């Protein structure tokens, strides 16, 4: 049984982030994996899960989510083998500290050695990142600039947009996947959901699925290519 948990959607689910759980669960089921998709709600104990999904949120809810996750020993759950997929604010709170509401600095969960500070301007718009040898498409809407510590690998290389602010997007650490791509990024990039499943289930690869999401992803790639984006694309997707 694969248990997928969406964490505090009342606080970290402002931008349709719940779609990430729906996509991950459905692609697992279509490969005959028994799945339980659960929600850990604000005010309730954090459920046990194989993977926790952290979404985006505004400054106040982000600070509250950090406090609740600290009380729930969230970092210990990762140390015990759980995986995390985080977007936007979820990315920021996994680091050692983050700044919200101006220059005020708050302690993060310390899962990853990364510090987020407020940028001079907000990053809003189309977002294109090369992850490995595949293009991730999406949208970003954040005011952060994230500095990774020594030895912390980026999630990908930014081709369009800002990401961390240094030409890279997010970070990858042991069982932690974090990106500035906004909202239900797994719906826009079904190959990424498949890569997550491979890590969770110990698979080397999966056969492609014939789905609307895969066809829309390939169409968006064609549009980017027509606009002159020459980033690499892993063959055989979709």
pLDDT digits (tens, 9 = 90+) for 30-89: 999 999 999 999 989 999 999 999 999 888 899 999 999 999 999 999 999 999 999 999
Give this prediction's pTM: 0.92
| Dihedrals phi, psi of 84, to nearest 5 degrees | -130, 135
- Of the two residues 16 and 21, the one the predictor is more confident about is 21
Tokens linked to 208: 């492609």
SS3 at position 1? coil
130-163: pLDDT as tens digits: 999 999 999 999 989 999 999 999 999 999 999 9
Element (H, E) at 227: none
At 237, the pLDDT band (50, 70, 90 cuts) reads very low
Tokens linked to 150: 């020594």
All residues at 6 or more sequence positions from 174 whose CB lies less than 8 Å from its CB, including other chains: 78
Cα–Cα distance, 122 to 116 (Å, whole number)? 13
Residue 153 per-residue DSSP state: B
At 225, the pLDDT band (50, 70, 90 cuts) reads low
Q: What residues are labeled active site?
A: 88, 182
Please report, for the chain, the start and end positions of each structural domain, with discontinuous segments joined by +.
2-226
Rounded to the nearest 5 degrees, what angle is found at the Cα of 90, between the Cα atoms of 87 and 96?
125
CB 121, CB 87: distance < 8 Å? no
Q: Tell me the CATH number for domain 2-226.
A: 3.40.50.880
Closest CA to 129 of 104, 154, 94: 154
- Of the two residues 228 and 4, the one the predictor is more confident about is 4
Residue 61 per-residue DSSP state: H
Residue 84 burial class via C-beta count within 10 angstroms: exposed 0-12, middle 13-18, buried 19 and up: buried
Element (H, E) at 54: strand 51-54
At 104, the pLDDT band (50, 70, 90 cuts) reads confident
């Amino acid at each position: 049984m694969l248990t997928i948990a969406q964490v505090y959607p009342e606080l970290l689910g402002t931008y349709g982030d719940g779609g990430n759980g729906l996509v991950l669960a459905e692609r697992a089921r279509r490969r005959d994996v028994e799945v339980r998709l659960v929600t850990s709600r604000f005010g309730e104990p954090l459920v046990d899960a194989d993977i926790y999904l952290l979404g985006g949120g505004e400054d106040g809810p982000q600070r509250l989510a950090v406090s609740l996750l600290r009380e729930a020993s969230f970092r210990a759950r990762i140390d015990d083998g759980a995986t995390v997929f985080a977007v936007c604010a979820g990315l920021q709170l996994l680091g050692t500290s983050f700044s919200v509401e101006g220059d005020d600095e708050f302690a993060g969960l310390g899962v990853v050695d990364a510090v987020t500070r407020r940028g001079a301007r907000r990053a809003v718009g189309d977002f294109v990142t090369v992850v490995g040898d595949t293009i991730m498409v999406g949208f970003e809407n954040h005011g952060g600039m994230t500095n990774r510590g020594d030895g912390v690998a980026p999630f990908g290389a930014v081709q369009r947009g800002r990401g961390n602010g240094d030409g890279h997007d997010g970070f990858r650490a042991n069982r932690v996947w974090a990106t500035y791509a906004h909202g239900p990024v797994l719906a826009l990039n079904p190959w990424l959901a498949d890569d997550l499943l491979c890590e969770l289930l110990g698979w080397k690869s999966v056969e492609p699925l014939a789905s609307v999401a895969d066809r829309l992803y390939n169409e968006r790639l064609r549009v980017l290519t027509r606009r002159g984006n020459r980033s690499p694309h892993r063959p055989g997707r979709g």
